[in-house]
Amino acid sequence: MPVKFIATIKENGLGNWYIELVDTFDNRKAICKNMTLFEDAIEQMGDDYGGDIEVEWRKDDNVTAEHFEEVKVEMAKYQKRYNEEALNG
């Protein structure tokens, strides 16, 4: 059974977004100011569970449509790279 992580898109109050990643098993948190930091955090935290994780996405109500779309595009790129790496082993 995968461990559930919650990734919440948030506004930083300075005109940008960040992702708060929470491991619901042990309540560890990572603050990811960009997608590269998110990728690193999800890999490091997920390694503790052999990569057997499930990510539930959320967003705060005040996240702008522009920031939400930016994160979606970046996440799609990450997912594509991840899938290609998995296929090419």
Domain boundaries, the chain: 3-88
* Torsion sign over Cα 72, 55, 23, 40: negative
- pTM, 2 dp: 0.89
User: Quick check: 87 pLDDT over 80?
Assistant: no
The candidate with the shortest Cα–Cα distance to 5, out of 73, 37, 51, is 51
CATH number listed for the domain at residues 3-88? 3.30.420
CA 60 remoteness from chain centre: 14
User: Quick check: 89 pLDDT over 70?
Assistant: no
